[in-house]
Structure 1
Amino acid sequence: MHIFTLTALLMLTLSEPAFARNISNEQSEAASARDAVGDAMSKLSDIEQKIQRQQALLTQEQEKLKQYQAEKAQTEKDLEAKKAIFEQKSKLLDEAWKQRTDY
C-alpha cells in the first residue's frame, strides 16, 4: 500500500504545471505564420482588385478602339465619295475651260 501511495504521489508531482513543456516558441511561430497568412491574403485581395480595375479599363479601351475603327471606316467611305465628287467637278471645270478657250 505504501508503494501505491508513493507511486500516486509521484504521478501527481510529474503532472504538475511546473514540469509542463515551455511552448512559447511554438506560440510565437504560430502567431507569425498566422500573420503571414493574413498578409498574403491581403496582398492577394489587393492584386485581385487591381486585376478587376485593369479588366474594366481594358474593356473601356476596347470599346473606344471599336468606335474609332468604325469612325475610320466611315471617314474612309466619306473620303472616297468626296474624291469621286471632286474628280467629277474637276472634269466639268476642265471641260468648261476647254470650251471657253475654244470660243
Structure 2
Amino acid sequence: MRLKQNAISFSLPSILIASFLFAAVAMTVYSQSAIARSILPEQKEAASARDAVGDAMSKLDDLNKRIKSQEELIAKEQERLQQYQNDKAQTERDLEAKKAVFEQKSKVLDEAWKDRSSY
C-alpha cells in the first residue's frame, strides 16, 4: 500500500505542475490574443492618408503644368505686344516724315499756284 501512496503522492505534484503550466500557457495565449488586436482601422486610415497625399501631389503637378503653360503664353503675348509697340513707334516716325514731305510738297505746290496766278 505504501507503494501505491507514493505513486499517488508523486503523481499529484506532477498533475499540479502540469495544471499550472497549462493555465500559464492558456493565460499567455489569451493575453496575446487580447493584446494582438486588429490593426485594420489604422491600415485603412494610413491608406486613406496615402491616397490624399497622392491626390494633392497630382493636383500640385497639374497646377504647376498649367502655370508653366500660362507663363509661356504670357511671354509670347508680351513679345507680340512689344512687336506691336515697336511697329507703332516706327509708323509714327514714318508718319512724321511723310507729314514733313507733304508739307514741303504742299508749299511747293502753293508757290506754283501763286506763280501761275501771277502770269
TM-score for the superposition, normalised by structure 1: 0.87
- Give the distance between the partners of 2:48 and 2:97, measured in 1 at CA: 73
Residue 99, structure 1, aligned to residue 101, structure 2: no
Q: How does 1:1-103 map to 2 (within 5 A)?
A: 2=17, 5=21, 6-16=23-33, 20-103=36-119
- Stretches (4+) displaced over 4 A: none
Displacement after TM superposition at 1:19 (Å): 5.7
- Give the distance between the partners of 2:20 and 2:83, measured in 1 at CA: 94
User: Which deviates more, 58-67 or 1-10?
Assistant: 1-10
User: Which deviates more, 32-41 or 20-29?
Assistant: 20-29
TM-score for the superposition, normalised by structure 2: 0.76
Aligned-residue RMSD, C-alpha? 2.0
How much identity, in percent, do the aligned residues show?
Answer: 59
Displacement after TM superposition at 1:51 (Å): 0.3
Aligned length: 102
- Structure 1: runs of 5+ lacking an equivalent: none
